[in-house]
Amino acid sequence: MISALFIYSLRGELLIAKHAKSTPHKSMSEIFRIQVINNLDVRSPVLTLGSTTFHHIKSNENLWLVAISRSNADSAAIWEFLYKLNALLSAYSLQTEERLKEDFLVCYELLDVVLEGGVPVETELAQVAAKMSVKPTVPLDKINTISDDLFSGANRIFHRPKQDRSRSSGFSVREQSPTKPSAYPWRPLGIRHKKNEIFLNVNESISILVSRDGSILRSYVDGMVDITTRLSGMPLCRFGLNDSLSVDTPFASETEINASSNSRNKRAIPKAAAGSVFLEDCKFHPCVQLDKFDFDRVITFVPPDGSFELMRYHVRENLNLPFKITPIVTVAGKNSFEFRVTLKSLFPGKLTAKDVQLRIPLPPETVDCEISASNGKCQFDREENALLWKFSKYQGLTENTLSAVTVPMRNSSVNVQQWPRPPMSLKFEILMFSNSGLVVRFFNVAEGERNYNLVKWIKYISKSGAYEVRY
Amino acid sequence: MSDQRVFTRHKAYEIRAELQQADNKRFKASAARQKNALKKIIANITMGYLNEMASLFPEILKFWSIDDDMEVKMACHQYALAMAPTKSSHFEEALKLIQDDFASSNERLRIMALNTLSSIPRPSYYSACQKCLESVLTRSSESADLKRAALHAILNMDQADKNSARPYVSFLSQIINEQRQFPSVRAHALSVLDALNESHKDLPPMSLSHDTCFNLLELLPELNEWDHTLILNGLTANYVPQTHSESHHLIEVVLPHLQHVNTSVSLAALKLILYLINYVDSIHESIVKRLSSSVVALLNKPSELQFLVLRNVILLLLGRDKPFLQIDVSYFFVEFNDPIYIKDTKLEILYLLAKEDNLRQILQELKDYATDIDIQMSRKAIRAIGNLAVKLENSVDDCINVLLDLLDFGVEYIIQEIISVFRNVMRKYPEQDSETIKRLVAFNDSVQEPESRSAMIWIITQFSRSLPNFLTLFRVFSDNFGEESLEVQFSVLNSSVKFFVRTRSSETEELCLKILKTAVDNADNPDLRERALMYWRLLSLVQQRADSNISLDDIVEIVDGELPLITLNTRLDPAVLEELELNIGSIASIYLKPIGQVFRLNRTMTLPQSPVLNRNRDSLEMIPDTRSSKSSASYSDPISTRSRAGSSPVKKMNDHDKPAETVNHLKMKRRTTIGSSKVTRKPSILSRRISIKRPFT
């Protein structure tokens, strides 16, 4: 499928060239450099020349990850693989050009483990780490967790190797005991933890687009539940959501038992949402038994040890919009605009949002802005040609107003009437608030016959996706 | 570490010296130095200095034989693989070492050895490889990883030597059916067999039996995501259902896998289901809804994957008269920071989804895009509006109004594009009121680009009856005939002849002759000259010989005949469509082109014959949801009710409004134009002030 894999630096220096199937022409790497890296106007993430196709992504650290295939390969698998590979590279701290140049042999080893004959075979960090001779530098439970500050004190499964350069020379060819087969390929037998803990994060990002007349053109929430587990043995986890199809299913009694443990979290969720949520669609980690979910809407799974993304979902109806933006934009004099924007938080007063930032794009050739804001900090950003109104904290149910008049360049040639007025956008993050109203109703773990002692943490984080208002 | 950077160009002798130096001193530090030298070799190969490094083969061989370190071994194998294209004589010596590695007890090393053996195109390596393969594949004690490597080694050998893989075909099908085999190995055997079938056109098509198919599906819970994809892909078009109930059952089994988080699994499941739908008599509407919602969920992936999914949405929309996808248009509204390729694709989808009931919404969106900062985007949006007018007959008035509104916007490139688009709209709807025409020709002087210029000429010519000053308008183009681009020259030529035959006056005659003469005498382009000559002869035929059997009416008919109405055809050829549906998620699905056109080596896929195959894809009966039983059927119920509720009244931001507990006012009132506000506050503000003390309950 993938016949070769290249990694380039930002400037187009070839760092890794892994040929999965017989060696392709040397010029192949040259072609990509010329056609894509040196081409400023790349309008597609895929390039096909002759019967050779390049799928490429660019990592956060500005590396180009490129997969080359010679036939009609499965693009979905290739792109998914490239993203997974990117995550794995970070886990082995090979994500920068410098590190990769230093330790490229580790990268080759990694590629040997994850690819077999050009077909991805294994990309879960825990499984990959078991086969590698080098340990990942990032502990297993750190991968995928968006906010890791919460767990920083916790014990780690993998210790950061203390610069042990000697490990490679000391390590020689030796018998590797084949891991015992377990019924679940993602979970080896005999995992032990002193303390059994489970961290559940409900991450949501809300996107809306409001038109000039205040009607909502589009609104949806993309949610992701990620879990970090430190559980011994072979635990079977079951958890249920207040998803509208499961609310009146027969195990309501179970909910009541568990309700007490959850009550602390429930308080954080506004009453309007306590009803039920209609999940448009959900995607699950492979460990979830999909047929069970299909039958009774309970998410049942034996988790891999460490951190992973359990499910993704999408909600479109009955959303709790956290902020209301009311812009009034008038033309004030020649080529000048007057913005009067009211920002009102609609979430409960007990909660606070952090890092709230409203970005108002300004017409071209604006040189300055007269700003007056009721609270927060508002600045004119010359580089971006936009107003940035920032709050480090924003209390619930609070209204603030911003007034600004743009000062155009003296003999500006641009006609502001023609300015397309790109939408203003808001960024924020709210803890313990759920945009969709999704609540975890119960969560229990069973290991064998006994229910063991367990600490559960649930956290809701609502973030902004594309939260845009036209004016 | 090293004093020198690894990733720089080195000469072979430098590295050799370094290696020997390290060899001489027999103490600890030497191991690290050797390794560093090896790294330099690999880095230099990566940078492309293959020939320079080729001379170091003997040194590599020396290390290979004495060192036991895994990292060194890996570098050696890497070196051998890179040297495969060279015809080095050292390979025979290396063979022995590779075989030794294969005999070791370290599993990763054995896999590496197997891989190297199969990738180096030499007969001696193949025979060695075949021996290894047999020992690995027949022994049940070997691990799954090693067996997988062996399976892929078959494919490697096959690439270089077409006959080497043949003996393994029956063996592979045996592995697929073997219950005791590792599940993952069975999945890979399936994909390897599929790949062999792809490259050997003479092999009979791989057909799996009913039992095999269900056995493989039972394996799914035990497999990881990548193996999932292999099985789902492997079953598509390779297992042929023989009865309706069989395919219904299979669809039920595959449905849950649509919810997998990995895009490739989800799309592979979608593909398999769409394939199976060709073998059923009717389909439950709830299933169709699940397909749609699973596609929606894939739209929050990274942009590359989103792009792929959107391209496949286009494919599905083109697929049937009544497409299987029922997705709200708002999902395809362009977001401000979408990459350009996603914007393009979304536009295309919006065009395809447009129907009478959502036209207003889509037009409003397109109008917004037309004023986008990105010029290309804006042009495409205008094109799309024009195409919509041609596609939906009832929409034409709305579309034209939007286009005329945009015209008043007065931006250069928007004008160019709109004029070009109007030509198509008028080819479809020739009955335009003269007001529209007049508004268009008002921009006569501002059209710059060849396409819009020739479109403007066409419009002037076609509607000259409602334009009293058409000749003046036309002269703007005809006066600089020599300097115009070829496209415009052709238009000017055609139009001048048309004017002449339509209204014969001295003015038109003069104009026509002037153009014909310039074109014949001065034009460089032979096509233009030929066409001008052709017109010239045609016209002189009537004028000179009164007895000729061509009358003026005939000429008018030829030169200025009735134009047929245009229609837009977006449908794909059914055979291509069938093939693409069997390749959802693949590269071909991005380009929406037949596979044979892009990849010459691939086999064309068609739906295999079966007694239950539907020949006419649109005749499929859709069973509406009646009573929701628990489980899958009930799943879709709320979608229908909710989406109906959601789409009818437009949601407003104000519906979500709540009274604020704290209202922060602007501290310093800025100057406003209303002077009186200094003293008295507006009553509305006052009342709010009061309400703050007692918050709303």
Name the B residues in 319-338 with CB < 8 Å from any A CB: 328, 330-331, 333, 335-337
Please, which pLDDT band fits residue A204 given cuts at 50, 70 and 90? very high
Q: Over pLDDT 70: what percentage of chain B?
A: 88
Spatial CA neighbour of A278 closest among B638, B378, B55, B696 = B638
Q: Which amino acid is at B253?
A: V
CB atoms within 10 A of CB A199: 20
- How many beta-carbon pairs under 8 angstroms link A with B? 355
A323: which strand partners?
Answer: A345
* Same domain assignment for residues A339 and A403: yes
Is the CB of B261 less than 8 angstroms away from the CB of A284? yes
Query: For residue A358, is pLDDT > 90?
Result: yes
B646, with CB counted inside 10 A (0-12, 13-18, 19+), is: middle
Nearest CA in chain B to A72: B587
Is the CB of A398 less than 8 angstroms away from the CB of B662? yes
Nearest by CB to A77, from B264, B331, B361: name it.
B264
Q: Quick one: pLDDT at residue A56? A: 92
Interface residue of B162, B593, B653 to substitute, partner A, most A CBs within 10 Å: B653
Q: Quick one: pLDDT at residue A147? A: 33
Nearest by CB to A286, from B228, B601, B668: name it.
B228
| pLDDT (average), residues B200-228 | 83
Interface residue of B7, B119, B168, B288 to substitute, partner A, most A CBs within 10 Å: B7
* Same domain assignment for residues A347 and A297: no
Nearest by CB to B666, from A15, A346, A403: name it.
A403
Which residues in chain B have their CB less than 8 angstroms from residue A211's CB? 364
Please, which pLDDT band fits residue A140 given cuts at 50, 70 and 90? low
Q: Quick one: pLDDT at residue B24? A: 64
Q: Indicate which CATH number applies to the domain containing A46.
A: 3.30.450.60
Nearest by CB to A169, from B31, B112, B152: name it.
B31
CA distance A174 to B106: 6
Q: Quick one: pLDDT at residue A162? A: 34
| pLDDT (average), residues A95-104 | 85
Which residues in chain B have their CB less than 8 angstroms from residue A326's CB? 653
Is the CB of A117 less than 8 angstroms away from the CB of B151? yes
Nearest CA in chain B to A179: B143
Please identify, among A138, A161, A183, the residue that sits at the C-terminal boundary of a domain: A138
The answer to whether B238 contacts chain A (CB < 8 Å) is no
Maximum average pLDDT range among A407-411, B185-189, B443-447: B185-189
What 3-state DSSP class applies to A359? strand
Is the CB of B155 less than 8 angstroms away from the CB of A370? no
* Same domain assignment for residues A377 and A455: no
Please identify, among A96, A114, A138, the residue that sits at the C-terminal boundary of a domain: A138
Which residues in chain A have their CB less than 8 angstroms from residue B666's CB? 372-374, 401, 403
Is the CB of A283 less than 8 angstroms away from the CB of B652? no
Which residues in chain A have their CB less than 8 angstroms from residue B331's CB? 218
Is the CB of B32 less than 8 angstroms away from the CB of A169? yes
Residue A219 in domain: yes
Query: For residue A378, is pLDDT > 80?
Result: yes
CB atoms within 10 A of CB B493: 23
The answer to whether B679 contacts chain A (CB < 8 Å) is no
Pair of tokens at residue B590: 């991005």
Interface residue of A82, A173, A299, A416 to substitute, partner B, most B CBs within 10 Å: A173
Is the CB of B335 less than 8 angstroms away from the CB of A349? no
Q: Tell me how many domains chain A contains.
A: 3
Residue A383 in domain: yes
Please name the residues in contact with B405: beta carbons below 8 A apart, sequence gap of 6 or more.
B367
Name the B residues in 399-438 with CB < 8 Å from any A CB: 409-411
Point out the least confidently predicted range of A235-239, A331-335, B69-73, B591-595. A331-335
Query: For residue A471, is pLDDT > 90?
Result: no
Nearest CA in chain A to B658: A346
CB A104 within 8 A of CB B42: yes
- Tens-digit pLDDT profile for residues B456-470: 999 888 888 888 888
* Same domain assignment for residues A262 and A246: yes
ipTM of the complex: 0.82
CA distance A395 to B495: 69
CA distance A171 to B108: 14
> If you ran DSSP here, which 8-state letter would residue A35 be given?
I
CA distance A232 to chain B (A): 21
The answer to whether B205 contacts chain A (CB < 8 Å) is no
- Tens-digit pLDDT profile for residues B146-186: 888 888 888 888 877 777 777 788 888 888 888 888 888 88
Q: Which domain holds residue A44?
A: 4-138
Kindly give the residue spans of alpha helices, DSSP state H, lying in A379-446. none
| pLDDT (average), residues B209-236 | 86
- pLDDT averaged over chain A? 78
Is the CB of A116 less than 8 angstroms away from the CB of B663? no
Is the CB of B152 less than 8 angstroms away from the CB of A174? no
* Same domain assignment for residues A126 and A44: yes
CA distance B359 to chain A (A): 14
Which residues in chain A have their CB less than 8 angstroms from residue B33's CB? none
Nearest CA in chain A to B586: A74
- Residue written as tokens 């009274």? B659
Sheet of A352-361: strand order equals A281-284, A306-315, A216-230, A197-210, A455-469, A424-431, A352-361, A386-395, A377-381
CA distance B519 to B532: 6
- pLDDT averaged over chain B? 80
pTM of the prediction? Answer: 0.75
* Same domain assignment for residues A104 and A50: yes
Q: Quick one: pLDDT at residue B270? A: 92
Please, which pLDDT band fits residue A247 given cuts at 50, 70 and 90? very low
CA distance A424 to A406: 15
- Structural Rg of chain B based on CA atoms: 36
β-pairing verdict for A455-469 and A424-431: antiparallel
Residue A186 in domain: no
Residue A165 in domain: no
Which residues in chain A have their CB less than 8 angstroms from residue B151's CB? 117
* Same domain assignment for residues A230 and A352: no
Is the CB of A295 less than 8 angstroms away from the CB of B631? yes
- Tens-digit pLDDT profile for residues A390-428: 999 999 889 999 999 888 887 766 666 777 788 899 999
CB B315 within 8 A of CB A82: no
User: Does A292 or B248 have the greater pLDDT score?
Assistant: B248
CA distance B546 to B10: 88
- Tens-digit pLDDT profile for residues B22-33: 666 555 567 777
- Angle, to 10 degrees, between the axis of helix B28-47 and the axis of helix A104-114? 70
Q: Quick one: pLDDT at residue B240? A: 86
Interface residue of B64, B158, B258, B308 to substitute, partner A, most A CBs within 10 Å: B308
Please identify, among A123, A138, A153, the residue that sits at the C-terminal boundary of a domain: A138
Nearest CA in chain B to A13: B47
